Amino acid sequence: MFSSRLAPDFGTITGGMSSRLALEKDPSRPRRLDELVDRLQSQGRYTFIRVEAVAALGTTAESFKKAVQIMTRRRKLASPRRGFYVIVPAEYRVAGAPPASWYIDDLMKAARTPYYVGVLTAAALHAAAHQGPQEFQVVTTGRQRPMAIGRDRIRFLKKRNLSRTEVMAVKTPTGTMKVSTPEATALDLLRYVDAAGFLSNIATVLHELAAQCEPGRLVGAAAAGVELPHAQRLGYLLDLVGAGQLADPLARWLAEQGPDWTRLDPGRRARRARRDARWRILVNARVEPDL
């Protein structure tokens, strides 16, 4: 769940979502929560927040709470965050909830928090997943606790300069969600090494992701405030997996920046490490991609 210190209670805000219900003056408006859920689902909508539902139904907070408990027990609703509800269609009731891609955009809008889907989840969406990611990874500006809903575990990764990262809109069954571009994803793999499965797994993913990247856009993504060591490590791994054509413009750009020598694995010592002059990398780790 979100930390209560960092995220508001969705039952006390509207965040721009409540206008989408606008049922208060509708004489045929639903009077029970299950009727409201059916109405929303028939309109292709799968999320709502407490404040808008209570207003639309003209009910009390206590009555609404009891109705939610009943529908949750029947696996017709799921709640990743207090006051925010996900409608569970019949085909996902065994799983407990639809996939995170169905509701992540609404969830982050309700929290009024900028975000993008990134790292291994973004790589998979760009057809670069040797193995399916075990968690749904979201990059945002604040520290957030992971949350579990149904079979999905959502992990939040913090980035202060998130607005500099290029994103794209990816269609979902319920709308769209923001996803980092292939080039930004490649750099994020080196920013969030532990979340990306460490260097050998990153190299494996890059072998497939490289085909989706454009050299000029990769340089642009690196120039958008990315720490030079991340770009150096990325370049070294691109060479390692045979993507030198993609890496060459990045190497030329890095040479102009005059980067310091940096360790391939920042968590390990580099005594007697081999030196890679092209990327100014101290090769202090063995990387074995599964190609």
Gyration radius from the chain CA atoms: 22
Q: How far apart are CA 7 and CA 143, in angstroms?
A: 10
The predicted structure's pLDDT at residue 16: 43
CA distance 265 to 194: 11
pLDDT at residue 133, rounded to an integer: 79
What share of the chain in percent tops pLDDT 90?
Answer: 80
Report pLDDT for 24: 47
pLDDT value of position 13 = 41
Q: Outline which parts of the chain fall under CATH 1.10.10.
A: 18-100
Stretches where the chain sits below pLDDT 70 are 1-27, 130-131
* pLDDT at site 72: 95
pLDDT of 9 reads 47
| pLDDT tens track for 240-249 | 999 999 999 9
Q: What is the pLDDT of residue 175?
A: 94
pLDDT at 26: 59
Report the pLDDT value the prediction gives residue 130, as an integer from 0 to 100: 66
Residue 84: Cβ-neighbour burial (10 angstroms; 0-12, 13-18, 19+):
buried
pLDDT at site 273: 93
Q: pLDDT of 42-81, one tens digit each? A: 999 999 999 999 999 988 999 999 999 999 999 999 999 9
Q: What's the pLDDT tens digit per position in 49-58? A: 999 999 999 8
In the prediction, which pLDDT does 27 show? 58
CB 281 within 8 Å of CB 254: no
Q: Quick check: helix, strand or coil at residue 250?
A: helix
Q: Please check whether the domain covering 18-100 is classified as CATH 3.40.50.
A: no
